[in-house]
Structures are given as structure tokens and as C-alpha cells.
Amino acid sequence: MATLSLRSPPSSLLYHHHNAPTCLILRSPYLNLRTRAHKPLSIKAFSAPSLTQDDLKKLAADKAVEYIRSGMILGLGTGSTAAFVVDKLGALLKSGQLKDIISIPTSKRTHDQAAALGIPLSTLDNHPKLDLAIDGADEVDPNLDLVKGRGGALLREKMVEAASDKFVVVVDDSKLVSGLGGSGLAMPVEVVQFCWKYNLIRLGELFREDSCVAKLRLGDGDKPYVTDNMNYIVDLYFEKPIRDSEAAGREISALEGVVEHGLFLNMATAVLIAGKDGVTVKNK
């Protein structure tokens, strides 16, 4: 039987020839062959094309629909990531991979999208208990608490998701924050139209020590944005993360004229986070 050994040239050769190649020696009772190892090929690493934010949202949406089972009563969220979930659900129903789904939309926008895809729709009045809700989020902190509602549907989102046995959140990794409000983007508060300036002033004063700025959300032109529930939204902008989210939520809710706020605390059962290395699942 032939034996294979790998050895380096004598040290004397190495002294004069620093780049002398390693020798490959094959010993056989029938063959005595010495060959030189080939110089290793230079291999350039190729990385996959960088994923866009929409690509990441689609990855998270694809993972989220794995939680759906035939026969479920399902809450459908609102926003760009949730829209990908609705698209995927429509395709699964059309192909027959899912059946007997009843969906509760959290906005007129989601209702219209789902209806166009042939997804059966209902309301909380008819189905007050849901098996699962899937929605996006604007911010996710390490405790899996959320800021939601920059899409304007925070009241209906909170009602539907609070009525669900499980609430799965789908985001890309740009939504992760060390503390809620830490992104510097809006934390929405839905208020009645009546005396909205009064409530805007009170909300700003509530977090004056946190250098919070309260602004009325505008829609088309200079007109106030109007929610599906015919309310206005006051957006709160924090310079730093909110120190105590639970206390902040209680203080906001205690103001007369406030309908709902965008702090979704202790609600998520799982968060699916899409990043360049795939989708990470964090469970509460």
C-alpha cells in the first residue's frame, strides 16, 4: 500500500531559499515519485449583495406567517412590514396551504389590502377573542416593549393585539433601541379633536424635564392628520429614552382627552428581528 507523507526541505535549503515549497512524497513498493505542491490559489471572498430595508421586512414577514395555522382568527397589523405579512397570507390562502382563516384588520388601509387579496374579514364585535396577531413596530427595547402607531393606527392596533392570545412582532434590526423613545422619532398619542391644543400643551408639559417636544401630526398640506377614528395625533419627540415607560404610559392615559398612546408594554409574546445574518426570534 502506498503511504503519503508531507515534509519540508532541509533547513540548509530553507536558509538560502526562504520561499522553498513544501515537498509532497509518495512512497510505494512500485513507485517512488516526488512532486512539488502547487502554489495555493488566491481566492477572493464574495459577499452577498446587501439587503435593503424592504428585503429585511420581507424576511421577517416570511418567518411570521409560519405561526399561522388553518382555522385561526387572526389580527392583521398596519404598516409597511405588516403589509408584507398580509401579502404572504393572501398567497398562502390562494394556494390552499392555509384554510378557514378569519382576519381582523387594524386599519382601513389593512382592510382594503386584505379584501383585495380575498382574505376573509371580520371585526372584534363578532370575534372578541383572537388566536394570534401579527404586526410591526417602530421601536423595540431589550424587554420587548414597543413603540407603535407611527402609521396612525395605534388605537385599533392596541385593541386587536390586546384581544389576541399571542402577539408576534415583525421588525428589521433598525428598530432596536436601548430604551423606548430612544430613536428620536415620534411616539404618538391619539387625542380627540376637541381642544386638541390644550392636550398638546399638557403633553409637552408632562415631559418638560425630559426635553420632550410635542407636535400635532399633519396630513395633506397644513391640515391635521385624522385617524380612522376621526381623532388627531400628537407626536412626542424625546431627546433621550423614556426613563420609566410604564409610569409615562399611566400619566399620558390619565389626561382627559387622550384616547390612546403608542407605548405597547408587556404585550409582545415574540419579536422576529430580520438582519443581515437572517431572522432572530426573541420570546417573552
Clarify whether 157 is annotated catalytic: yes
Question: Which amino acid would we find at residue 134?
Answer: I
Q: Can you read off the three cell numbers belonging to residue 43?
A: 481566492
How does DSSP assign 149-216, residue by residue?
Answer: -TTS-HHHHHHHHHTEEEEEEEEEGGGB-SSTTTTSS-EEEEE-STTHHHHHHHHHHHTGGGT-EEEE
Question: By the 8 A CB rule, do 147 and 138 touch?
Answer: yes
Q: What separation in angstroms does the CA of 170 have from each of 65, 84, 91, 206?
A: 10, 10, 18, 31
Q: What separation in angstroms does the CA of 79 have from each of 1, 84, 128, 191, 239?
A: 69, 9, 23, 20, 25
| Catalytic choice (66, 139, 157, 251) | 157
Q: Cβ contacts of residue 276 below 8 Å, gap of 6+? A: 50, 51
DSSP state of 218: B
Residue with cell 385561526: 72
Q: Can you read off the three cell numbers belonging to residue 6?
A: 508531507
The catalytic residues are 157
